[in-house]
Structure 1
Amino acid sequence: MNASAATATRRPVTVGAWLGQAVLYALFAVFIGVFSHWPVYHPLPPGDALIKISFTHTGKPVGDCRPLTEEEKAKLPPQMRPKQICPRERSPVSIEVDINGQRVLQRTAEPSGLKRDGSSAVYQRLQVPAGEQKIAVRMKDDVRAAGFTAQREATITLKPSQVLVIDYNAEKGGIVFQ
């Protein structure tokens, strides 16, 4: 078949086809417009605020490094004899959160990984009334320590629909409210 025969069999686009296509595009645009504004979504009820506890932290090792014994050194080839053996396993991370003197969260996050040598992750959303909140956060990341290893208390005024994030950042001094 040559090019002139192919153009001879093609039918011209009619005005009805153009109008039909325009109507379908208009209906699609109305559909998108309606469902982008309705139903109205409110992430929080009026007058409430949100506190998010969200952090990933690697706990301290569960034990101290120790030197190899002579028997352990004898079992290893000379090129594979480290000076010390250090445990890979990490401490779980425990967190407690009090709001206005009432405990609202108490959780222990186990370390990730097959050898329990990864980081521990905590994520929790707490819906609170807007206004002044006295927040106390305590964290423990070392099983060898007697008490909590990091603490922070603050009185924060939350506006309606405000989101306060509680995180842990050692470079910024520990527990951070942002």
Structure 2
Amino acid sequence: MRRVFGWMGQALLYGCFAAAIGVFSRWPAYHPLPAGMAQIKVSFMHHGARLADCRPHTAEELARLAPNMRGAMKCERERSPVHIEVDLDGQTVLSHAAAPSGLSRDGASTLYRRLDVPAGEHRIAVRFNDSQSVQGYTHQREAVVSLAPAQVLVIDFNADRGGIVLQ
């Protein structure tokens, strides 16, 4: 008799657990974007240009270095911050300078931003500068995109694919 009550109690608990999972899998309803909205994600990881050009070691510098550390060229590690601007229909919606990571400021600059925009046709202009020695922008891209409700457009930077990528 005790064993029957044990099995019934276990079945009742498992049933309650399954019902709770079923209820919370449908309620409350989750909507990542309001109705009629689309999203633009700006996401990149990029190494900016080096702040100083490589130069040959002087004889004094080579003499101070251990034999296994003697290289032909001395290259400074610090990199330029990466500046990005995104215009949507003629208005700047994002302007950001991503600093290089790392203790020596020699790592990649990264950025991730989400912008909620009304669905429909938009003119997007993206300007990108990865070198402090260049005035203005090193890469630019303009496009007219048509965004459906709940669609996500990703703006990325890929040097192998020609620079600024809209996908």
1:46 is aligned to 2:35:
yes
Equivalent in 152, 155, 159 of residue 141 of structure 2: 152
Aligned residues with identical type, % of pairs: 59
Change (3 A) 1:79 1:41: closer
Cα separation, 1, equivalents of 2:131 and 2:144? 27
Equivalent in 116, 121, 124 of residue 127 of structure 1: 116
- Tell me which residue corresponds to 1:29: 18
- Tell me which residue corresponds to 1:110: 99
Bigger mean CA offset, 43-52 vs 140-149: 140-149
Q: SS at 1:28's partner residue?
A: helix
TM-score of the aligned structures, taking structure 2 as reference length: 0.94
Q: Higher Cα Rg: structure 1 or 2?
A: 1
Aligned AA for 1:85?
K
Aligned AA for 1:133?
H
TM-score of the aligned structures, taking structure 1 as reference length: 0.88
Cα separation, 2, equivalents of 1:118 and 1:98? 27
Please report how far the alpha carbon of residue 78 of structure 1 lies from its aligned counterpart in structure 2 after TM superposition: 5.3
Cα separation, 1, equivalents of 2:7 and 2:49? 69
Give the paired residue count: 167
Cα separation, 1, equivalents of 2:14 and 2:61? 77
Aligned AA for 2:103?
L
Aligned AA for 2:161?
K
- Tell me which residue corresponds to 2:47: 58
Question: Any unmatched runs of 5+ in structure 2?
Answer: none
Please report how far the alpha carbon of residue 14 of structure 1 lies from its aligned counterpart in structure 2 after TM superposition: 2.9
